[in-house]
Chains A and B, each alone.
Chain A
């Protein structure tokens, strides 16, 4: 009761104060209240919708807009539309467009494509598992063959762990973005292959290109980065740095100077990612790649990535390294987590191929000898120069003098290739996406050496190329 009376008293005081307040005060308060009410009820508008177009004008704009055609028309004589069709397996003797030739174009370095043991291992796996895995690795797509292949690869490369991908291209293109994110810095060689470029693009990191195999240029870039770091040490402490190089470059056929890279790694504290698609199963005494070739401790390389589509004559790719690094990809490698796993028959074939590699370590020496032989034999062809190391099984033959435009160069090389194909040597031009490459290599003919090629065939190929160059280029 007392509270009620008290409240009444406060109310009376309020009303009194209201009457006693000066006029301007009341008017001001009134205006403020009205303003607040107006703001509360007015529609908020976004900057985007603030267009002064009427509905009719909008409909007209929609009517008038014409998009480009979904794809531009492709000329009928585009070289890629008239591709070579291979009938039967692309083995040593290959039937291209109906004609039998000796295969100098498939990356079948160790000749395992036609190996009977590999095929029977794949057959056994087919009988047991069928063809597809019907799921990604996380959802019942992990088979015991995958685990076995990963163990075997890790053991072969003498690292702690390995991880398999179901497609060679996706391997390095998923591995790089798993570690390098926006804001990190990657130093990459100019001649890096397209898969690396796509991996870098997906990672959204800062890319710094250094001239091909030029350690001085790389050191210059690293020094520049060091001075940048000193200006902003806090940021530098969380910015990861990587160097991405290939063991044996696909585009130029030469190897990277790995010992110097290791020195730079420890001096400037950058991690090295090595792409060994061409050098796995080629370089080194036992085929372990460029680390064995140079005698470097494999733990010095943070990540080695390779595809199984060249020496191992299967499909897919793998990464190997220490568990600290590789295990991360099991949850963040996009091509690993969101894609179906490798069909078990291909994994079984790869295991068998690995067995063969381990049991016959002398094939690597044989392959190298053949490479040297053809490298020497191809020297001195007038009009064509050999690009690549003497022990590289994937060489390029480029025109010594360009005839002006890339298109004409390509046409000229095509004539050389056709001449050789008609005489029984299957060759191909190296294909690139001209508009998408960062540093487009000049047009060239790819020459691939395999252990299955005999010395006569190598000599025949060399002499045929000489003839072709003579007749076409002169």
Chain B
């Protein structure tokens, strides 16, 4: 692929010889554990970018203090909602400084988030036009719709968010039959035959013994991790894990230790220390050690180093909990997730967890694994006892999407979608690299973060892309480190080549206008002048 070119990639967490790697190291990635090359980039921006980012935040902060001062002294109108008169002598509900960032920095550009749409979140959607008369304090809908905005923000990896009548035929039937609610919990009167059907299908899809489904992806983590681990257990969690994993870990009462993102040396060190020294102070042995990782990290676009983690976990007898929220359906030759992507068996992972929101166009989550594990969750999961089960129409959508992926509906549409996503991802990433943007993450991940760095560019980028009829997602502090604000694109199988080209052209223009092309390793913005075939003609 890229062997003929001279590019230098920084790869995070190169595994040293302390790890149990059998066989010689070869290539850039680590030895015989990986069946294909594993290339990830996390290029650092030039120093002046970091300086200007801090300057930007400093200016924003100074103005924030100035405005707060003016508001406090009545020189400026207060637009914020206030406490009731009768409750003015209660302890204040919010500390002023907690909201400083929200009031003064987030508020200036908050028109780029919570944009309401009024159509299906497919590859194109319709946005409701929203204007503000008072600098983002309040919004007003003009009543107009911005039509056919290219959607680069929704998690629609396989394009199952569709309204095609044929595709939704079974969902319509089930909705008519079952209605929308269930009104009971799984253990009481809420287990419908649809749930049983869905669970069998999920287990078959993933190649495991049994599976259990839940009504909300976030709640799947926060309600099941406490059931699996408790006091006296150790949780080793990746630095960049999702809030639901962090909340589940905290609610469990176990001890939590963080290892550096995707860094196997850091993980191994923690494992060794934990087993050798035991629990802090008492030095009793840990009851169990569980490693929490995600398949694809949605803010970085990086893929977990599964083969190395599995070899570590086998050596140190820990358990692995893999959250495939973004990777199920999106990677792997037939869409089975990171386990298939690395050519491993689902038995290597103890707890396979995922959500149906992203690749299946529905809602909810699942946990799959050995029968003993799932039986335990059926009896002890918080969700099974206290939370309503999944809506049957939503379950039917998942069933039909999964059948399509598995080819059980008689067509090859599922595989086509997976292949199309793969092609789109590679094309999009390659073009962005060539243009000179700094992109994070693995080459095969459909989540593409494009680094913006400076706070002023966040607002400018999102607004100008909307003017060009493209909807993007931008993220800043506190979801990302303060200097690494980014725009995040989610490539979908439903995007056509024309749509991607439109977006790429717009990005090219905007990149030049806003000076976003920080990469030091790219060619110029006219890659066609450097095609290899032409080079070979020169002597």
Chain A residues with CB under 8 Å of chain B are 48, 51, 53, 58, 61-62, 65-68, 70-74, 78, 80-81, 83-91, 94, 96, 103, 105-108, 112-115, 118-119, 122-123, 126-135, 137-144, 146-147, 166-170, 173, 179, 193-195, 198, 201-202, 236-241, 266, 269-271, 299, 307, 309-310, 312-315, 322-325, 327-328, 330-331, 334-335, 338-340, 342-343, 345-346, 349, 426, 428-433, 436, 446
CB-defined contacts of A239 to chain B, threshold 8 Å:
91
Question: Is there contact, CB below 8 Å, between A106 and B187?
Answer: no
Question: Is there contact, CB below 8 Å, between B218 and A322?
Answer: no
Interface centre among B121, B171, B184, B189 (most CB of A within 10 A): B189
Question: Is there contact, CB below 8 Å, between A338 and B116?
Answer: no
Question: Is there contact, CB below 8 Å, between A195 and B386?
Answer: yes
Question: Is there contact, CB below 8 Å, between B191 and A83?
Answer: yes
Report the minimal beta-carbon distance from B215 to chain A, rounded to whole angstroms.
6
Task: Give bound CA distance, A165 to B404, whole Å.
Answer: 30
Given contacts A131-B171, A140-B151, A240-B91, contact A80 B317 (CB under 8 A): no
What are 28 residue pairs bridging A and B, where the CB atoms are less than 8 Å apart in the complex? A51-B277, A73-B372, A74-B376, A85-B193, A88-B177, A89-B177, A108-B183, A115-B179, A118-B179, A131-B363, A135-B154, A140-B121, A143-B117, A167-B216, A168-B387, A169-B387, A194-B386, A241-B91, A269-B91, A314-B180, A324-B82, A324-B84, A334-B243, A335-B218, A339-B244, A343-B363, A349-B179, A349-B180
Report the minimal beta-carbon distance from A86 to chain B, rounded to whole angstroms.
5
Partner of A322, one of B81, B190, B361: B81
Partner of A67, one of B93, B273, B288: B288
Question: Is there contact, CB below 8 Å, between B372 and A325?
Answer: no
Given contacts A140-B125, A169-B219, A271-B93, contact A51 B114 (CB under 8 A): no
Given contacts A80-B384, A338-B242, A340-B357, contact A133 B121 (CB under 8 A): yes
Task: Give bound CA distance, A241 to B93, whole Å.
Answer: 9
Interface contacts beyond A122-B393, A143-B116, A331-B106: sample of 5 additional A-B pairs, CB < 8 Å, sorted by A: A67-B319, A88-B193, A143-B117, A313-B181, A431-B188
Given contacts A81-B375, A433-B385, contact A201 B251 (CB under 8 A): yes
Task: Give bound CA distance, A146 to B382, whole Å.
Answer: 27
- The interface-forming segment of B160-168, B408-416, B505-513 is B160-168
The 6 A-B pairs with the shortest beta carbon distances in the complex, nearest first, are A313-B181, A339-B218, A167-B216, A71-B376, A169-B387, A324-B81
CB-defined contacts of A89 to chain B, threshold 8 Å:
177-179, 192, 392
User: B380 on the interface (CB 8 Å rule)?
Assistant: yes
Question: Is there contact, CB below 8 Å, between B155 and A144?
Answer: no
Report the minimal beta-carbon distance from B13 to chain A, rounded to whole angstroms.
22
Question: Is there contact, CB below 8 Å, between B121 and A135?
Answer: yes
User: B204 on the interface (CB 8 Å rule)?
Assistant: no
Task: Give bound CA distance, A170 to B116, whole Å.
Answer: 23
Question: Is there contact, CB below 8 Å, between B115 and A167?
Answer: no
CB-defined contacts of B358 to chain A, threshold 8 Å:
134
Given contacts A85-B191, A126-B172, A202-B247, contact A62 B275 (CB under 8 A): yes
Question: Is there contact, CB below 8 Å, between B182 and A315?
Answer: yes
User: B258 on the interface (CB 8 Å rule)?
Assistant: no
User: B430 on the interface (CB 8 Å rule)?
Assistant: no
Question: Is there contact, CB below 8 Å, between A323 and B81?
Answer: yes
CB-defined contacts of A87 to chain B, threshold 8 Å:
192-193
CB-defined contacts of B378 to chain A, threshold 8 Å:
80-81, 83
Task: Give bound CA distance, A130 to B159, whole Å.
Answer: 11
Chain B residues with CB under 8 Å of chain A are 81-84, 86-87, 89-95, 102, 106, 113-122, 125, 128, 151, 153-156, 160-163, 165, 168, 171-172, 175-193, 196, 215-219, 222-223, 226, 228, 242-244, 247, 250-251, 272-273, 275-277, 285-290, 316-319, 350-351, 355-358, 360-363, 372-373, 375-380, 382-388, 390-394, 397, 471, 473
Question: Is there contact, CB below 8 Å, between B176 and A132?
Answer: no
Question: Is there contact, CB below 8 Å, between B388 and A119?
Answer: no
Task: Give bound CA distance, A313 to B180, whole Å.
Answer: 7
CB-defined contacts of A118 to chain B, threshold 8 Å:
179-180
Question: Is there contact, CB below 8 Å, between B218 and A140?
Answer: no
CB-defined contacts of A72 to chain B, threshold 8 Å:
376
Question: Is there contact, CB below 8 Å, between B186 and A83?
Answer: yes
Task: Give bound CA distance, A85 to B288, whole Å.
Answer: 34
Given contacts A74-B379, A90-B192, contact A309 B93 (CB under 8 A): no
CB-defined contacts of A134 to chain B, threshold 8 Å:
121, 154-156, 161, 357-358, 361
Question: Is there contact, CB below 8 Å, between A135 and B153?
Answer: yes
Given contacts A73-B372, A86-B189, contact A345 B247 (CB under 8 A): no
Report the minimal beta-carbon distance from B109 to chain A, rounded to whole angstroms.
13
Output the nearest chain B residue to A119 by Cβ-Cβ distance.
B179
Question: Is there contact, CB below 8 Å, between A129 and B163?
Answer: yes
Task: Give bound CA distance, A431 to B389, whole Å.
Answer: 14
Report the minimal beta-carbon distance from A447 to chain B, rounded to whole angstroms.
12
Question: Is there contact, CB below 8 Å, between A139 and B113?
Answer: yes
Report the minimal beta-carbon distance from A302 to chain B, rounded to whole angstroms.
8
Question: Is there contact, CB below 8 Å, between A119 and B176?
Answer: yes
Question: Is there contact, CB below 8 Å, between B181 and A340?
Answer: no
CB-defined contacts of B385 to chain A, threshold 8 Å:
80, 194, 431-433
CB-defined contacts of B87 to chain A, threshold 8 Å:
271
Question: Is there contact, CB below 8 Å, between A345 and B91?
Answer: no
Question: Is there contact, CB below 8 Å, between A132 and B357?
Answer: yes
CB-defined contacts of A426 to chain B, threshold 8 Å:
189
Partner of A65, one of B191, B193, B285, B388: B285
CB-defined contacts of B473 to chain A, threshold 8 Å:
139-140
CB-defined contacts of A310 to chain B, threshold 8 Å:
183
Question: Is there contact, CB below 8 Å, between B191 and A142?
Answer: no
Given contacts A130-B163, A144-B128, contact A170 B218 (CB under 8 A): yes
Interface centre among B183, B216, B289, B387 (most CB of A within 10 A): B183
Question: Is there contact, CB below 8 Å, between A140 and B189?
Answer: no
Partner of A123, one of B90, B175, B380, B382: B175
Partner of B183, one of A106, A146, A169: A106
Report the minimal beta-carbon distance from A196 to chain B, rounded to whole angstroms.
11
Task: Give bound CA distance, A328 to B162, whole Å.
Answer: 33
Question: Is there contact, CB below 8 Å, between B114 and A142?
Answer: yes
Question: Is there contact, CB below 8 Å, between A271 and B90?
Answer: yes
CB-defined contacts of B318 to chain A, threshold 8 Å:
67
CB-defined contacts of A173 to chain B, threshold 8 Å:
222
Report the minimal beta-carbon distance from A307 to chain B, rounded to whole angstroms.
8
Report the minimal beta-carbon distance from B216 to chain A, rounded to whole angstroms.
4
Question: Is there contact, CB below 8 Å, between B319 and A70?
Answer: yes
Question: Is there contact, CB below 8 Å, between A91 and B179?
Answer: yes
Task: Give bound CA distance, A271 to B223, whole Å.
Answer: 28
CB-defined contacts of B189 to chain A, threshold 8 Å:
84, 86, 90, 94, 96, 103, 105-106, 426, 428
CB-defined contacts of B376 to chain A, threshold 8 Å:
71-72, 74
Report the minimal beta-carbon distance from B90 to chain A, rounded to whole angstroms.
5
Task: Give bound CA distance, A354 to B88, whole Å.
Answer: 34
Question: Is there contact, CB below 8 Å, between B391 and A346?
Answer: yes
Partner of B116, one of A123, A147, A330: A147
CB-defined contacts of A68 to chain B, threshold 8 Å:
287-288
Question: Is there contact, CB below 8 Å, between B180 and A131?
Answer: no
Report the minimal beta-carbon distance from A322 to chain B, rounded to whole angstroms.
7
Report the minimal beta-carbon distance from A420 to chain B, rounded to whole angstroms.
13
CB-defined contacts of B193 to chain A, threshold 8 Å:
85-88
Output the nearest chain A residue to B492 by Cβ-Cβ distance.
A134
Output the nearest chain A residue to B177 by Cβ-Cβ distance.
A89
Question: Is there contact, CB below 8 Å, between B190 and A90?
Answer: yes
Question: Is there contact, CB below 8 Å, between B363 and A132?
Answer: yes
CB-defined contacts of A322 to chain B, threshold 8 Å:
81, 84
Question: Is there contact, CB below 8 Å, between A61 and B276?
Answer: yes
Given contacts A105-B189, A169-B387, A240-B91, contact A71 B317 (CB under 8 A): no
Question: Is there contact, CB below 8 Å, between A138 and B187?
Answer: no
Interface centre among B84, B182, B196, B247 (most CB of A within 10 A): B182
Question: Is there contact, CB below 8 Å, between B114 and A331?
Answer: no
Output the nearest chain B residue to A271 by Cβ-Cβ distance.
B90
Question: Is there contact, CB below 8 Å, between A70 and B171?
Answer: no
Partner of B185, one of A58, A340, A431: A431
Task: Give bound CA distance, A138 to B479, whole Å.
Answer: 12
